[in-house]
């Protein structure tokens, strides 16, 4: 499965119709969740049947395509199923009880409700929401694929406009020549990655570099916010929404910079090696450190890992996630444990006298663990889907980790 994304062009009336379709999808999703809360013994297909009940009860829900309603119900069921799985696996802490959606940004269609033009440069939505025909702006060519291969179409609203995503059922595997090279990678804050051969890649710090502009835009937005309008439950002024959009566009630019950087770096690593060993970091737990949360989030470790696993699957390379415990503490030369704080950046072993950079020493240990691991590739060891496969089913926020750039 691969996802192609195009920017759509239309009139203001069509954009308002897309917004109405997104609100309707959110309404159905929340209604299905409430139906499950009131009737705990129902299943996935019961939620699909409940969509017909909602369509008969609410005229605006009936205007949305029937399969788009089912997609909204499937979103609710995916959250419910994830909650059940976390309970069965006895995940520590909160189990992720499903929550009601307040700000959905997308609506998803299956095989009906839409039709591509003859040139595949425009798409027409035929439900009663009045979206009509939208032009597709992008560099991808959908003529290479049969219409039956397009399993889902999603309309996504972002700060800089509206986008259409096409989930195409196609084998993404590509045969490549072996390089006879292996590498161990340590992820860090001083260096984004450091490998066992001593090569390092600096952390770009996209958010840190744009922080002043973001704070300035946020202050301008806050100055235009009216507490009186909020108390009276009135809509904020147009100037506030314009400032809010400018602030959101700056954040969107930073996230796209980070994503593109991680994608290109992961592609380079996969093309240069046959086996890549990396740390199985618990990023969700690491960001709880209030001193390092901003730097960890700015680094984008999980994004890099997602692209690394995706490209490893695509080009037939082995990606191994190893436990990160003591990889920075153990000496890669003699194996003895040398305790050191996070501020100590040089590994000096008192047992054998080995001196090396802390991150490079950890990368050597990671590679050794990866080579000694049998049957553990990526996240397949626990039976879960790899992180890139989650994006193939189109995430609820409109993001997809396997939307490739034309240059790749």
Which phi and psi angles does 4 have, rounded to 5°?
-105, 140
Report, as an integer, the average pLDDT of 290-312.
Answer: 91
DSSP SS3 for 115? strand
pLDDT in tens, 237-284: 999 999 999 999 999 999 999 999 999 999 999 999 999 999 988 888
Who contacts 381 (Cβ-Cβ below 8 Å, separation ≥6)? 321, 375
Residues 152 and 65 sit within 8 Å (Cβ to Cβ): no
Report, as an integer, the average pLDDT of 47-63.
Answer: 93
- Ranges of CATH 3.30.420 domains, the chain: 182-208+252-392
Largest CA distance in the chain: 77
Q: How far apart are CA 122 and CA 286, in angstroms?
A: 44
Q: How far apart are CA 147 and CA 362, in angstroms?
A: 48
Q: How confident is the model at residue 399 (pLDDT cuts 50, 70, 90)?
A: low
Q: CA distances (Å), 149 to each of 119, 170, 391, in order? A: 17, 7, 17
- Return the ∠ at Cα 373 (arms to 369 and 378), rounded to 5°: 95
**Burial status of residue 211 (CB atoms within 10 A of its CB: 0-12, 13-18, 19 or more):** middle
Q: How confident is the model at residue 386 (pLDDT cuts 50, 70, 90)?
A: very low
| Residues present in the chain in total | 408
Least confident window among 133-142, 238-247, 254-263, 330-339: 330-339
pLDDT for res 97: 92
- Written as six digits, the tokens of 33 are 């969740």
Residue 397 pLDDT exceeds 80 = no
DSSP SS3 for 61? helix
pLDDT for res 72: 93
Q: How far apart are CA 370 and CA 276, in angstroms?
A: 8
Q: How far apart are CA 193 and CA 226, in angstroms?
A: 45
Residues 167 and 392 sit within 8 Å (Cβ to Cβ): yes
Which alpha helices (H) appear in 315-357, and where do they start and end?
A: none
Q: How confident is the model at residue 231 (pLDDT cuts 50, 70, 90)?
A: very high
Q: Is the dihedral of CA 386, 388, 394, 399 positive or negative?
A: positive
pLDDT for res 271: 93
Least confident window among 83-87, 135-139, 352-356: 352-356
pLDDT in tens, 174-190: 888 888 899 999 998 88
Q: How many CB atoms lie within 10 A of CB 52?
A: 14
Residue 394 pLDDT exceeds 60 = no
Q: What is the mean pLDDT of the chain?
A: 87
The DSSP line for 256-313 is HHHHHHHHHHHHHHHHH-SEEEEE---HHHHTT-TTTHHHHHHHTHHHHHHHHHHHHH
Report, as an integer, the average pLDDT of 284-312.
Answer: 91
Who contacts 310 (Cβ-Cβ below 8 Å, separation ≥6)? 266, 386, 387, 388, 391, 401, 402
Which alpha helices (H) appear in 125-237, and where do they start and end?
A: 206-223, 227-231
Residue 391 pLDDT exceeds 50 = no
DSSP SS3 for 160? coil
Which phi and psi angles does 278 have, rounded to 5°?
-145, 170
Residues 124 and 133 sit within 8 Å (Cβ to Cβ): yes
pLDDT in tens, 58-115: 999 999 999 999 999 999 999 999 999 999 988 888 888 999 999 999 999 998 999 9
- Return the ∠ at Cα 125 (arms to 122 and 128), rounded to 5°: 155
What CATH number is given for 182-208+252-392 in this structure? 3.30.420
**Percent of the chain as helix, strand, coil, to the nearest 5:** 45, 20, 35
User: 355: which strand partners?
Assistant: 348
Residues 134 and 17 sit within 8 Å (Cβ to Cβ): no
First and final C-alpha spacing in the chain: 16
Q: How many CB atoms lie within 10 A of CB 115?
A: 12
Residue closest to 86 by CA, chosen among 396, 384, 388: 384
Element (H, E) at 251: helix 238-272
């Amino acid at each position: 499965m691969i996802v192609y994304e195009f920017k759509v062009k239309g009139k203001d009336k069509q954009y308002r119709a897309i917004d109405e379709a997104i609100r309707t999808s959110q309404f159905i999703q929340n209604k299905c969740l409430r139906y499950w809360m009131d009737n705990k013994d129902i299943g996935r297909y019961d939620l699909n049947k409940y969509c017909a009940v909602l369509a008969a009860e609410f005229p605006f829900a009936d205007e949305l395509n029937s399969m788009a309603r089912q997609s909204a119900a499937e979103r609710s069921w995916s959250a419910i199923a994830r909650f059940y799985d976390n309970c069965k696996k006895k995940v520590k802490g909160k189990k992720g009880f499903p929550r009601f959606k307040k700000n959905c940004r997308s609506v998803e269609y299956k095989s009906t409700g839409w039709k591509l033009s003859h040139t595949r440069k425009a798409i027409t939505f035929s439900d009663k929401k009045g979206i009509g025909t939208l032009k597709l702006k992008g560099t991808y060519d959908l003529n290479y694929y049969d219409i039956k291969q397009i399993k889902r179409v999603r309309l996504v609203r972002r700060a800089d406009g509206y986008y259409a995503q096409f989930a195409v059922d196609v084998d993404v595997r590509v045969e490549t020549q072996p390089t006879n090279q292996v590498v161990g990678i340590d992820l860090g804050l001083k260096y984004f990655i450091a490998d066992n051969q001593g090569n390092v890649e600096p952390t770009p710090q996209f958010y840190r570099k744009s922080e002043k502009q973001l704070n300035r835009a946020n202050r301008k937005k806050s100055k235009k916010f009216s507490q009186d309008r909020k108390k009276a439950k009135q809509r904020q002024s147009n100037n506030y929404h314009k400032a809010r959009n400018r602030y959101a566009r700056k954040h969107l630019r930073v996230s796209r910079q980070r994503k593109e950087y991680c994608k290109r770096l992961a592609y380079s690593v996969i093309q240069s090696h046959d086996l890549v060993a990396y740390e199985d970091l618990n990023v969700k737990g690491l960001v709880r450190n209030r001193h390092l949360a901003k730097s960890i989030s700015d680094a984008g470790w999980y994004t890099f890992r997602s692209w690394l696993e995706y490209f490893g699957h695509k080009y037939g390379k082995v990606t191994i996630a190893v436990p990160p415990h003591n990889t920075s503490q153990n000496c890669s030369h003699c194996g003895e444990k040398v305790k050191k704080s996070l501020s100590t950046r040089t590994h000096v072993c008192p047992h054998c006298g080995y001196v090396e950079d802390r991150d490079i020493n950890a990368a050597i240990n990671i590679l050794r663990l990866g080579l000694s691991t049998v049957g553990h590739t990526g996240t397949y060891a626990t039976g879960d889907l790899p992180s890139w496969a989650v994006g193939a089913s189109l995430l609820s926020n409109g993001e997809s980790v396997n939307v490739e750039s034309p240059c790749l």
